[in-house]
Amino acid sequence: MPRPAALWAVVVCYNGGPLLRNCLESLFRSTTPATVVVVDNGSTDGSVELIQREFPAVQLVRSAENLGFGRANNDGIRLALHGGAEHVFLLNQDAWVEPDTLSHLVALSRQHPELGVVSPVHLNADGTALDHGFANYLRADRCPGFISDLYVRRLRDHYTLPFVNAAAWLLPRNCLEKAGGFNPVFFMYGEDVDLCHRVRFHGFRIGVVPAAVIYHARGRAAAPAAGTPMSKSERTKQEAVDLALLSDINHSLARQLLTFAGQTLYGVLGPSGGRAGFWAGKWNVVKRIPRLGRLRRRCKRPAGAFLTEPAH
C-alpha cells in the first residue's frame, strides 16, 4: 500500500449535486488512501458547501469561473505533483469507485511502467452493463484479445488500447512530467483524445485493468434530427473532434489539415452540412490553426506541457 501522499485523486466539480457525494464517499472508502483534491469550476448549486460540510479532508480549489474540464484538472494535477504525488487519479464527478479500484490500478501501474494511462473498466450507474461509450473502446479491432479472453474466462491483468476517456484515469508522475497535462485549447470534449495522442507520442501505452471498475452515471444523448440547427453542445463536440485531429503530433500538421479538409467536404455532402452552425464551427477551428501549430511544437517536447506554468 503506498503512503497517503503517494496517491492523489483529482475531481473537477461543476454543479455536481448528489452524484458528487457518491464520488467523494467512494474515494474515502478506498482501501488505498489518497489525498483528494476537488477543483470547483464556479458551482452555484451548493456543491462547495456540501464539500466543506461533509468532506473537510478534501483540498478544495475554487475558481470564480468555469475553466473547463482540462484546465481545471491541470490545476489539480499541478497541486498533486507539487505535493509529491507518484500517481494522480482523475475521476469524473458523476462516477464512483469500488474500495479496491485504486489498489488494482496502482499495483498494475507499478508492474508496468510503460503504461502512461491506466484505466478501470467503466460500468453503468447500477452495474448491470458496460458504460455504453466504454464498450466501444473494447471492440476487437481496438482492444485485441479482450472479448475473446472474457468469453473463455482467461482475462489478463491488463489490455492495451489506443484510447479510453478520462472519466477515470490513473497517471504516473513520469508520464505527466513528459507528456504533460490537458491542452487548454479544449474547453470540454476532446482533451482526453489529445492527451492520449501525446502519451503515445512520448513512448507510453494506454491500458485497461479488468479487475478494477468504476460506475459512471451518464445519460445517452439522442441522435439529432436531420436539418435541425446544431445545438451548442453538438457544435462544441464537433469542434473538439476537429481540434483533436489537428493537434495529433503523431502525424504532420500538413497531413492532418488534408484529413480535416476531406472530412469537412464529406460533412458538407452529408446531413450535417445543411445544419445551421456547421460552418460556424468549422470556421472556429480554422481560426485556431496558427495557435495549434505553436502548441504542437510545445507538446513534442518531453517537458510536462501545460503543467509548468501558473494555474491561471
Instruction: Say whether both 247 and 282 belong to one domain.
Output: yes
Instruction: Say whether both 126 and 173 belong to one domain.
Output: yes
**Residue 76: strand pairing partners:** none
- Picking from 188, 216, 244, the residue at the C-terminal end of a domain is 216
Contacts of 42 (CB under 8 A, 6+ apart): 14, 63, 64, 65, 66
Q: What is the CATH number of the domain that holds 105?
A: 3.90.550.10
CA–CA separation, 277 vs 296, rounded Å?
Answer: 27
Q: Is residue 267 domain-resident?
A: yes
Instruction: Say whether both 165 and 95 belong to one domain.
Output: yes
Would you give the end-to-end CA distance of the chain in angstroms?
A: 34
* SS3 category, 49: helix
Q: How does strand 168-172 pair with strand 87-91?
A: antiparallel
**Structural domain boundaries enclosing 256:** 232-300
How many domains are there within the chain? Answer: 2
Q: Is residue 225 domain-resident?
A: no
Instruction: Say whether both 39 and 178 belong to one domain.
Output: yes
Instruction: Say whether both 168 and 239 belong to one domain.
Output: no
CA–CA separation, 302 vs 273, rounded Å?
Answer: 39
Residues 76-117 have pLDDT tens digits of 999 999 999 999 999 999 999 999 999 999 999 999 999 999
Instruction: Say whether both 290 and 180 belong to one domain.
Output: no
* SS3 category, 297: helix
Instruction: Say whether both 268 and 199 belong to one domain.
Output: no
Instruction: Say whether both 135 and 243 belong to one domain.
Output: no
Instruction: Say whether both 167 and 284 belong to one domain.
Output: no
Residues 249-296 have pLDDT tens digits of 999 999 999 999 999 988 888 766 666 778 888 999 999 999 999 999
Q: Is residue 13 domain-resident?
A: yes
CA–CA separation, 150 vs 19, rounded Å?
Answer: 30
Rounded to whole angstroms, what are the CA distances from 4 to 8, 172, 177? 8, 15, 21
Instruction: Say whether both 40 and 150 belong to one domain.
Output: yes
Considering the chain, what is the average pLDDT of its residues? Answer: 92
